[in-house]
Chains A and B, each alone.
Chain A
Amino acid sequence: MQHSNLIYIAVMSAVTLSVKILPLTLIRRPIKSRFVRSFLYYVPYVTLAVMTFPAIVQATDVPLAGAIALVAGIVAAWFGASLFKVAATCCILVFVIELIML
């Protein structure tokens, strides 16, 4: 089946904007279910962790560079580096390591 980029963009945008806008406009009192609240609390961490590893190791030309960037990124974020600094640290490390190894 042939797919159109514009329909792809329309679908992803409609879903994203619904997720962002609907709770804010519809929910005007606290959610009661403790399970739902707890589930929603854990979702972001699990999703992002699943997406990060092992994908970061597969994204770079040299897998070792991705692995080192992962460890360095975790250490930098652990000690409170900003989002920009963590991302920059990962990029610079991969660039330098691949410069040496390739």
Chain B
Amino acid sequence: MARNATGVFARHGKAIKEGFRDGVPIGAGYFVVAFSLGIAARSAGLTPWEGFVASLLNNASAGEYAAFTLIAAHASYLELAVVTFITNARYLLMSTALSQRFSPKTGTLHRVLVGFDVTDELFGIAIARPGMVDPFYSYGAFVPALTGWSTGTALGIVMGNVLPTRAVSALSVALFGMFLAIIIPPARQNRVVLGCVVVSFLASLVFTVAPAFASISAGTRTIILTVAISSLAALLFPVSDEELRHGEGEDADAA
């Protein structure tokens, strides 16, 4: 067993170390954002351990934030499942993109393990490396990333109530800052994406303030607007294969 483990490190140590090195700044950023996520988890009534496990198994900022908001509102399990699916739907695309960069020889176990921690940033650094994806590089990056994310969430739940309300108010925008950092650089490069962001902002505002839509919950609003606006954009501005590859390249730059 020990000899086997030594053999794995001898063959893949370099990739693991490089992954770990690239994962450290990601983990540090995750820690801060997860802390503010922990504040949302605390409002939903989660214990630090529950928050730790939820973050370890999900590692998804928007998805977890939406989920905690629903849990706080005592939503149904079905609504939670649908909203989690919609807010994490982009990982379908990333996971699909990764599948195209795996060697056909790579076994199912490696595919499951790499898929376990697909995030915007970890997808970005994995796809940015030349050639086929090396699962061991990803495993190296997962260690600091998952540590920062899970402990950050747990600590946010523990510390949320000892922090002054002013600090909580300030930290609550960290997640939105993270969302902006993901959507704005591609919007600068691509006019259709920019148009999608502007239309989404406006439509979301209308759905939030207009009395006719006031009874629609935040989760349902996200589903309706995402499906409607993305479908419309896909019909009016279908994406070429070249743009899809370009989009992946931008994600890599962002990370």
Interface residues of A (CB under 8 A from B): 1, 3, 5-9, 11-17, 19-25, 27-28, 30-31, 34-35, 37-56, 59-62, 65-66, 69-70, 73-74, 76-78, 80-84, 86-92, 94-95, 98-99, 102
Task: Give Cα A43 to B247, complex, Å.
Answer: 13
List, in ascending order, chain B residues with CB within 8 A of A59's CB: 169, 172-173, 176
> In the bound complex, do residue A99 and residue B166 qualify as a contact, i.e. CB atoms below 8 Å apart?
yes
Can you name 18 extra interface pairs (CB under 8 A) apart from A11-B77, A19-B91, A76-B181? A6-B50, A9-B57, A12-B54, A12-B80, A24-B95, A37-B239, A42-B193, A44-B183, A46-B226, A49-B183, A49-B200, A50-B226, A51-B65, A52-B179, A69-B173, A82-B29, A91-B170, A98-B166
User: With A39-B231, A41-B247 known to touch, is A19 a contact of B50 (CB < 8 Å)?
Assistant: no
> In the bound complex, do residue B226 and residue A8 qualify as a contact, i.e. CB atoms below 8 Å apart?
no
> In the bound complex, do residue A56 and residue B181 qualify as a contact, i.e. CB atoms below 8 Å apart?
no
Say yes or no for B151: interface residue by CB 8 A criterion.
Answer: no
Number of B interface residues at 8 Å Cβ cutoff, please give it. 107
8 residue pairs from A and B, CB less than 8 Å apart: A17-B115, A34-B238, A45-B200, A46-B225, A48-B179, A65-B169, A94-B169, A99-B166
> In the bound complex, do residue A73 and residue B169 qualify as a contact, i.e. CB atoms below 8 Å apart?
no
**A-B contacts at CB below 8 angstroms, number:** 300
A47 partner, pick from B57, B222, B239, beta carbons under 8 A: B222
B205 partner, pick from A9, A13, A23, A53, beta carbons under 8 A: A53
A46 partner, pick from B25, B28, B93, B233, beta carbons under 8 A: B233
CB contacts under 8 Å to A, within B191-248, are 192-193, 196-197, 200-201, 203-205, 208-209, 218, 221-222, 225-226, 229-231, 233-235, 237-239, 243-244, 247
Say yes or no for B96: interface residue by CB 8 A criterion.
Answer: yes
